[in-house]
Amino acid sequence: MQAQFEDYEDLTGLRFPWNSFPANKQEEKRCVIPVSCLYQPLRPKTTPVVVQIPPSACRNCRAILSPCCGVDPNTGTWACPFCNTRNQLPPSEPAGQLPYAVSPEAQDIEYVVPPPETQNPPIFMYVVDTCFGDDDEFKALTDSILVSLSMLPPDALVGFITFGRHVNVYEVGIQDFQSFYCFNGARKYTQAEISWNLELTGSNASRLGVTRFVQQHAICEFNLTALVESLQRDSFPTEKYHRRTLATGCAVNVAVSLLSQTFPKTGARILLFSGGPCTQGPGKIVGTPLKEPLRSHHDIEHDSKVEKQYKESSQFYQKLSQTAAGNGHSIDIFIGAYDQVGLSEMEALADKTGGVIVQSDSFSSAIFKRSLQKFLSPDEATGMISFGLNATMQVKVTRNLRIRGAIGHLTSLNNKNSSVTDKKPIGVSGTDSWKLGAVWSHSAYSFFFEIAENTPQADFSAIQFITTYQHPDGTRRIHVTTTQRPTAPAGSADLITNFDQEVAAVVAAREAVWKSVADVTNQPADAVRSLDRVLIDLCQHFASYRTNDATSFSLPPTLNLFPQFMYHLRRSPFVQVFNSSPDETSYYRHCFLAEDSTNSLIMIQPTLTSYELDKEPEPVVLDSTSLKPERILLLDTFFHILIYHGAVVAEWKRLGYQDQSDYAYFKEFLEKPRLEAADILVDRFPLPRFIDTEEGGSQARFLMSRLSPSTSYRNAESMMNLATSGVGDGESGAVIMTDDVSLQTFMEYVKKAVVKPE
């Protein structure tokens, strides 16, 4: 059954927790997990369907002709399943012949249409931090920027802004000399003031127009390269025991306002490179004195002064993100700093515009360099950049459904209609259309629905997703995915039989993460209680058990993995903030809300692979019992790729056996997990952190924190007695020093809660 769900995802980009929909509101309430889906519009297909014709749309609701439509070739009409309007078939079709759009192969189809006259080539606006403490770090950043510029398409439009204490907007279109306009970083400028100062409007407008600031790459490449090579660090002195004066908020404001004025409603990316926190002007994170610490989760929750500044800065960036999103401009954030830079306040810039975030310790690190290159690397098949721009999505549903909202990197377009509900909204709600900004092949969005009241019960529900975006080749694409889900008879087992527990875990996790993002005061304990309630209610409705008898508890096969997904989710950095800064938490949550079902599951429950001599590599449970002295473990958390050497293997490695010809097999053994890790690193974006450690190593904590502590210090003695008594293999795993309960203990609590009478 799970393979069928995955095959359907490969075909359409869709995964549903409930592949049969409930028949009525009472059945829907019993489901606990909302009627929803995870949709990946540009998921790579083995045989994509791309046609060079405009789609046929319903004259009433603008739904697209699809296999769900009823076609009458005798009258040459088709019936829209979403509003029941009859429409004429395309006149280009021969008499009596059905259009290709109604064939089963067209349930996922992409139409190529001419671009609007106002559409421009992709635009890249660089916003570069120049305020660094040493030349090496600044040189590493400028070198990477030069590499990225060489990767841009020749027809792309490019602009360049630098910032430190002040903000400089360069005239890249002027070939004879380098000139720039300077803005006071401590001021909060309006868009009108920025336009006036840049001589874009009014009597002050320059005859050269916008090409001074945004010019075609092929024309300004030499001038731009010379500019980057000649850049100097911010020359303003920094007092002792003070941070550098950095006007990040002002720089982003100028970039957003400049593009909004010159290229509205067209695809653009603002690339922000930040090496420190904003310390002055709008969006300020912290003051310059080092005695003033950067805010923590505790400060945001309990210090009224910090909370006020945090909210003010967050609201400033929220407004900028809404402006950018409305114009189809995405904002990408590249961080190279050991300390926080204020990502928690700035996260809306990327979240609401479809931008990416790359977080690294330094601009000289491989994480930053390789992620930036992968970001701009052309698609192997087409040779063009691998993302779409200025994307929007509209969702159509049949009358027995209502749209509750969506969760992901998108913004509401506020065109509400009768298919949208006001009751129990989720995520970005109140609309059936959203602005996506930039969209990648891995971009995934979750949509939530509910069964409509006072409507006749239907045998099936139909949903149509219409994604419109600017393709890298300059055309406009309309990607249409249409699906039908059967209605499960009331009281039948069809609901749980067709339950997809993997995507159900992802949907539940997205709900929990969204609530935490929307309300920073939401406590981890609240999120944990909410997840526990979901798990207990779901088990009460679909598990088999006798009241007050935990030993009788039994889960159906389609639900047997869901409890362990919830267990690991409760302990994940998406829910728990202990030992994480606000910036780290925002980064983890941003990545989670961007990824498809496979990567999302890896984030929830990391994969663990075991390597042993004379054995093939095999997946093992994410448990402390998997720690063995003669074993190598490969952990993939999405954010980290970790190789862990057991005590015996680490000792053999220190003795240098791998360098001796008689032990070539041991050298090959050590290389196996590294080769697997290299394969993962090639395809992952952003590049994960690679860790090579051993038992007792300081970085082994990244592995220990994700393992279920079946052998913690609490039960170490009993486990040792069990091993020495001859039961088991004598190797019960390493002892983990934690107060967390193990998966087995967690399940005992769940069983007791489920079988307890209400």
Tell me the average pLDDT across 148-174.
Answer: 95
When the pLDDT of each residue in the chain is averaged and rounded to a whole number, the result is 92
**What is the pLDDT, as a whole number, of residue 732?**
60
Confidence of residue 757 (pLDDT cuts 50, 70, 90): confident
Task: Tell me which of 348 and 730 has the higher pLDDT.
Answer: 348
DSSP 8-state assignment for residue 64? B
Confidence class for position 716, pLDDT limits 50, 70, 90: low
pLDDT in tens, 496-508: 999 999 999 999 9
Output the pLDDT for position 620. 97
Mean pLDDT, range 334-359, rounded to an integer = 96
In CATH, what number does 2-113+391-488 get? 2.60.40.1670
Cα pseudo-dihedral 449, 453, 457, 462, rounded to 10: -30
Domain with CATH 3.40.20.10 in the chain: 606-741
CA 440, 468, 600 angle in degrees (round to 5)?
30
Question: What was the pLDDT predicted at 307?
Answer: 93
In sequence order, what are the residues at sequence separation of 6 or more whose Cβ sits closer than 8 angstroms to the Cβ of residue 94? none
The residues, ordered by sequence, that sit 6+ positions from 686 with a Cβ below 8 Å of its Cβ are 356, 357, 358, 359, 367, 371, 591
Sequence-distant (≥ 6) Cβ neighbours of residue 4 within 8 angstroms: none
List the single range of 30-34, 417-421, 426-430, 595-599 with lowest mean pLDDT. 417-421
Q: What pLDDT, on the 0 to 100 scale, is given for residue 717?
A: 53
Mean pLDDT over 529-556 rounds to: 96
Q: How far apart are CA 71 and CA 69, in angstroms?
A: 6
Q: Is the bond preceding residue 686 a cis peptide, omega within 30 degrees?
A: yes
Task: Give Cα 167 distance to the centre of its chain.
Answer: 30
611 with 594: CB under 8 angstroms? no
- Note the pLDDT of residue 143: 97
Q: CA-CA distance, 304 to 703, in Å (whole number)?
A: 36
Adjacent-strand bridge partners of 481: 108, 465
pLDDT tens, residue by residue, 726-749: 444 444 677 787 778 999 999 999
What pLDDT score does 727 carry?
40
The reported pLDDT for the residue numbered 729 is: 44
| 459-500 per-position pLDDT tens digit | 899 999 999 999 999 899 999 999 999 999 988 899 999 999
Q: Given this model, what pLDDT does residue 723 score?
A: 47
* Mutual angle of helices 562-570 and 597-604, in 10-degree steps: 60
3 state DSSP class of 444: coil
pLDDT at 715: 65
Distance between CA atoms of 470 and 389, rounded to whole angstroms?
Answer: 5
Distance CA 496, CA 20 (A): 9
pLDDT tens readout for residues 200-224: 876 556 656 788 999 999 999 999 9
The contacts of residue 196 (CB under 8 Å, 6+ apart) are 202, 204
Amino acid at 342: G
Indicate the residue type of 679: D
Contacts of 544 by beta carbon, 8 Å cutoff, 6+ apart: 552, 553, 554, 555, 556
8 A C-beta contact, residue 17 and residue 500 = yes
Residue 362 has pLDDT above 90, yes or no: yes
> Tens digits of per-residue pLDDT, 289-321?
999 999 999 999 999 999 999 999 999 999 999
Task: Give span(s): CATH 3.40.50.410, the chain.
Answer: 124-262+268-327
| For residue 457, pLDDT beyond 90 | no
Residue 538 scores a pLDDT above 70: yes
The predicted-structure confidence for 367-398, as pLDDT tens digits, reads as follows: 999 999 999 999 887 888 999 999 999 999 99
Q: Residue range 672-681: average pLDDT? A: 95
pLDDT in tens, 599-635: 999 999 999 999 999 999 999 999 999 999 999 999 9
Q: What is the pLDDT of residue 206?
A: 63
Q: How far apart are CA 149 and CA 685, in angstroms?
A: 19
Rounded CA separation 561/460 (Å): 28
pLDDT at 355: 97
* pLDDT at res. 718: 47
Mean pLDDT for 626-654 is 97
Beta strand spans in 376-420 (E): 388-397, 401-407, 411-412
SS3 assignment, position 60? coil
pLDDT of residue 458: 85
Q: Which CATH number fits domain 606-741: 3.60.15.10, 3.20.20.60, 3.40.20.10, 3.40.50.10240?
A: 3.40.20.10
Measured between alpha carbons, how far is 665 from 668 in angstroms, rounded to an integer? 5
| C-alpha–C-alpha distance, residues 417 and 403, integer Å | 10
Q: Could you read off the pLDDT of 11-70 as tens digits, one per residue?
A: 999 999 999 999 999 999 999 999 999 999 999 998 999 999 999 999 999 999 999 999
pLDDT top residue among 726 and 414: 414
693 compared with 455, residue with greater pLDDT: 693
Which residues are CB-contacts of 654 (< 8 A; sequence separation ≥ 6)? none
What percent of the residues of the chain are helix, what percent strand, and what percent coil, each to the nearest 5? 35, 25, 40
- Report the percent of the chain where pLDDT is more than 90: 81
- Angstrom distance (rounded) from CA 73 to CA 98: 7
**Does 3.40.50.410 match the CATH number of domain 124-262+268-327?**
yes
| pLDDT, position 424 | 81
Taking alpha carbons only, the member of 355, 345, 294, 338 closest to residue 585 is 345
